Amino acid sequence: MLVKKVILPAAGLATRFLPLSKAVRKEFLPLVDSPMLSYVVEESRQAAIEEIIFVVSENNKNIADYFRRNDKLEELLKQRGAGEILENLQKLYNGLENIVLSSVIQPLPKGDGDAVLRAEKKVGKDAFSVAFLDDVFSAKIPPLVQLFNIFQTSQKTVVGLKKIAQEKLPFYGVVKVEKIANNLYKIKDIVEKPPIEQAPSELAICGRYVFTEEIFRYLKKTQPNAKEEIILAEALRLMLADGKMIYGYEIDGEWLECGNMLDWLKTNLTLCLRHPKYGPVLKDHIKKFKLC
């Protein structure tokens, strides 16, 4: 069973970015010269995804329009001889012509599990992936492709993992594992935001998953937490309790997080300084004005 669909949750309140997120949706915050969401869409394209399903809020229905052509704008740019700008715009569309962009509405932000559940009808009986927009990776092999390779041989749920510093463990879902092979683990338990001394490992869930349709059954059984949210990790724990095999794969690549203001600023700065066009200029600017 091949994985040809990906769910991209984008209906959260982005409270960690307030008041900025009152004006700009988190997924449209820039990383260098592109919005955050374009990085995950590009990763999906590289993974040969055929349908991208955005889970959106009522006031953010048109998120997919960013990736659709604007004929009037292109014609205006041609008339003005703005070839370089037109060329940059064309890069946005390259490779997306054969990808279906669809969306479903999550009326209220009731957790990542609820967001995935909203896309059940779109997914149907197919295997599918989930990728979170504020988890960006710099990797030779796209993270989704790495997980698909494991799924192809196992046909079981695969969860993306990364080792993190001990002081960050209380802010993540951390897994208890049994090592199977290089970078590959059997997940035995998931502990949400554990105290450092109670963390079962240094491996955190990092926003990439592959599922079969059975996850929907467990999401429907998952009890909402105190905030009335359905949490994806809790559905996975129910699967583990039923003896289901869940693989964890330590993604080979750099995890560039954007889940809060400081992480986003760090990631944006990192990518700006690495950019082939802007990086050298920015480094000279920093040196000239002794900014650091």
The pTM assigned to this predicted structure is 0.94
The rounded distance, in Å, linking the Cα atoms of 260 and 16 is 5
Q: Homologous superfamily of 5-288 in CATH? A: Spore Coat Polysaccharide Biosynthesis Protein SpsA; Chain A (3.90.550.10)
Helix (H, G, I), strand (E, B) or coil at 246: strand
Whole-number Cα distances in Å, 7 to 112, 130, 212, 292: 11, 5, 13, 40
Q: Looking at the predicted structure, is the pLDDT value of residue 24 above 80?
A: yes
Buried/exposed 273-288: b ≥16 CB within 10 Å, e otherwise: eeeeeeeeebeeeeee
Supply the pLDDT for residue 95: 82
Domain residue spans of the chain: 5-288
Task: Give, as one character, the DSSP assignment of residue 242.
Answer: T
* CA separation, residue 253 to residues 4, 36, 91, 183 (Å): 22, 18, 24, 12
**pLDDT at res. 69:** 87
Per-residue model confidence (pLDDT) at position 64: 87
Cis bond before residue 107 (omega within 30° of 0) = no
In tens, the pLDDT along 31-47 reads 999 999 999 999 999 99
